Amino acid sequence: MNIKRPSKDKLGQAITCRTTRLPHIHREMTFFSSFSATVWKVTTAVAIAIVARNLLAWDIQDIFLSGIQGILNCFSSQLTMVFNEAEGLISNQIYDAAYTYLGKKICPSTRRIKVNTANAEGRFGMIMKCEKIMKCDEIIVDVFSGIEFKWRVVESKSFKNPKDLNSTLELSFLKKHKELVLTGYLPYIMQEAVLTKQEARAPRLFKQLKDVWRPTNLEHPSTFDTLALDLDIKKFVLEDLERFVSRKEYYRKIGKAWKRGYLLFGPPGTGKSSLIAAMANYLHFDIYDLVLSDLPFIEFVKDALNVVASRSILVVEDIDYTIGLQHHMAALEISGEENLMLSGLLNFLDGLWSNCGDERIIVFTTNHKEKLYPTLVRPGRMDVHIHLSYCTPSMFRQLAFNYLQLKQHPLFPQIEEAILGTHVTPAEVTEELLKINSSGDHHSTLQNLLQFLEQQKNNREASPNKKIENEELEAKKVGNITSI
């Protein structure tokens, strides 16, 4: 049999082809060898860990296994941050904030939650603790700026007392996002935790005793849903508050203290205190009720104002009487002590003290705006001036719904016409609506209100100051807000 041998040229090509493949094969063998070595290292580490868990004492186990975990982390693109429940006897603030924050992240496996009492607005808040959020080693996934973060609870024994269990939170993410976590994610969690805790409790009312503030829960039920206020004013205040609380970075950028000043003026009984309470309930801000006449020395004023917390409303009611401005400033000589009081208050509004705290609202109320010292209410101190005037038809309808649960009634048109033609405050209308007989006859109540309004109108017609009162009635039809 004749065997056909390849020619020299073809043999050379085959040798050349085989020779050119050798480096590629070498790379594959190198990669396989490296991969095998890595697998062997990981397998060995796991085996050692298993042996250590069975043979070593628990405290040595913890140290040894931590070292093994460190070795394994060298081969991972993940980074894990650990937050202990406490550092010695000191509570870990980041741990507490993370648990509060994660309490709002209800996962499908959650079976039990703790619900606290309803707040002033009737909304229920949830407070979750370790055993309520998730079981040990259960994972909660959170997304921030489009990036996925995984949280896990780990329980470990105490070095000093093996019977005690320490709770630890682990946060895992890709190593390349470390800077985002430190500068964005964790600060965001801290901020959200503060807001969550504040929303879960009722606002507090602080009354000062010299330079000491005494807190009590704010039980005022007023909200913007039930507030008898002109619809345009209500809409403006809500939008203004929302804009204020969302502009933290803007205030920092322009180098201005993060505060907002409101001057509420108008006759007694027009809802100034109710509006303040509604603002506090809406924002979950505490109220600090400052009475300057109770602070005999300027040092007490400084001390009292210096401890007013952030996210709060500082209220000075009847500011014209509080600082001794019972008459027009042009005809009044203010004493030296009153000058110091006024100076201390002004420094808090826009001086160096104004930067000692964030997200503050300052509210002055007065029945006589014209009697106020101009320096006190200039732009930058009182940013918004709101005139709360006499009752209007829309305010009456809100009061009728609040107290009688009525949205419509045949007497409404007559009552609204009478309201437009006389001076009557929301407080006076409220007083009449509360005069409900034992049978709950709403028709009789509205008839009594109509008679009261007619009587008020007759009194106005007989008044010697009729011209002035007519001008005030016309003022009810024009804008009541001055904003800067």
- Domain holding 263: CATH number? 3.40.50.300
The tokens for 443 are 């028709």
Q: Are residues 285 and 268 in the same domain?
A: yes
Instruction: Give rounded-to-5 percent helix, strand, coil for the chain.
Output: 50, 15, 35
User: How many domains are there within the chain?
Assistant: 3
Using the structure block, give the residue that is written with the tokens 């895992």: 172
Chain centroid to CA 273: how far? 22
- Residues whose CB falls within 8 Å of the CB of residue 161, separated by 6 or more in sequence, listed in order: none
Q: Are residues 233 and 158 in the same domain?
A: no
Dist CA 70 CA 60 (whole Å): 16
Is 97 within a domain? yes
Q: Are residues 406 and 354 in the same domain?
A: no
8 A C-beta contact, residue 267 and residue 425:
yes
Domain that holds residue 466: 394-483
Give me the long-range contacts of 43-47 (CB less than 8 A, separation at least 24): 45/71, 45/72
Dist CA 441 CA 258 (whole Å): 50
User: End-to-end distance of the chain based on CA atoms, in angstroms?
Assistant: 110
Dist CA 302 CA 299 (whole Å): 5
Residue 389's closest CA among 423, 363, 428, 432?
Answer: 423
- Residues whose CB falls within 8 Å of the CB of residue 283, separated by 6 or more in sequence, listed in order: 241, 245, 311, 313, 361
Dist CA 233 CA 425 (whole Å): 16
The string of pLDDT tens digits covering residues 22-72 is 444 444 555 555 556 666 666 666 666 566 556 555 555 556 556 666 665
Q: What is the pLDDT of residue 46?
A: 64
Residue 119: Cβ within 10 Å count:
16
- Please identify, among 165, 186, 201, the residue that sits at the C-terminal boundary of a domain: 201
Is 63 within a domain? no
Is 29 within a domain? no
Beta bridge partners of 386: 264, 481
Q: What is the pLDDT of residue 286?
A: 93
Is 47 within a domain? no
Q: What is the pLDDT of residue 331?
A: 40
Is 34 within a domain? no
**H-only helix segments in 153-204:** 178-180, 186-200
Residue 324's closest CA among 360, 285, 372, 279?
Answer: 372
The string of pLDDT tens digits covering residues 201-229 is 778 999 877 667 888 888 888 999 999 99
The DSSP string of 30-47 is: HHHHHHHHHHHHHHHHHH
Residue 472's closest CA among 267, 228, 264, 229?
Answer: 267
- Please identify, among 387, 410, 429, the residue that sits at the C-terminal boundary of a domain: 387
Q: Are residues 266 and 308 in the same domain?
A: yes
Is 437 within a domain? yes
8 A C-beta contact, residue 379 and residue 484:
yes
Pairing of strands 204-209, 212-217: antiparallel
Q: Are residues 345 and 210 in the same domain?
A: yes
DSSP summary character for residue 56: S
Q: Are residues 165 and 208 in the same domain?
A: no
Chain centroid to CA 31: how far? 55
Is 349 within a domain? yes
The tokens for 116 are 């606290």
Is 50 within a domain? no
Residue 264's closest CA among 293, 230, 296, 294?
Answer: 230
8 A C-beta contact, residue 367 and residue 268:
yes
Pairing of strands 312-316, 286-289: parallel
Beta bridge partners of 150: 141, 172
User: pTM of the prediction?
Assistant: 0.66
- Please identify, among 201, 226, 259, the residue that sits at the C-terminal boundary of a domain: 201
Q: Where is 78: in which H helix or E strand?
A: strand 78-84
Q: Are residues 99 and 149 in the same domain?
A: yes
8 A C-beta contact, residue 390 and residue 425:
yes
Q: Are residues 85 and 177 in the same domain?
A: yes
Residue 325's closest CA among 337, 317, 333, 315?
Answer: 333
The tokens for 182 are 């430190």
The DSSP string of 336-401 is: HHHHHHHHHHHHHHHSGGGGSSSSEEEEEEES-GGGS-GGGGSTTTS-EEEE--S--HHHHHHHHH
8 A C-beta contact, residue 267 and residue 260:
no
Q: Are residues 270 and 324 in the same domain?
A: yes
Q: Are residues 374 and 230 in the same domain?
A: yes
Q: What is the pLDDT of residue 390?
A: 92
Burial class (CB in 10 A: 0-12, 13-18, 19+), 373: middle
The tokens for 35 are 């991969």
Dist CA 323 CA 367 (whole Å): 14
Phi, psi (rounded to 5 degrees) for 186: -65, -45
Name residues of the chain where pLDDT drops below 70: 1-75, 88-89, 106-137, 156-165, 210-211, 293-302, 322-357, 437-439, 462-480, 483-484
Chain centroid to CA 212: how far? 25
Q: Are residues 307 and 326 in the same domain?
A: yes
The tokens for 335 are 């004493």
Q: Are residues 349 and 254 in the same domain?
A: yes
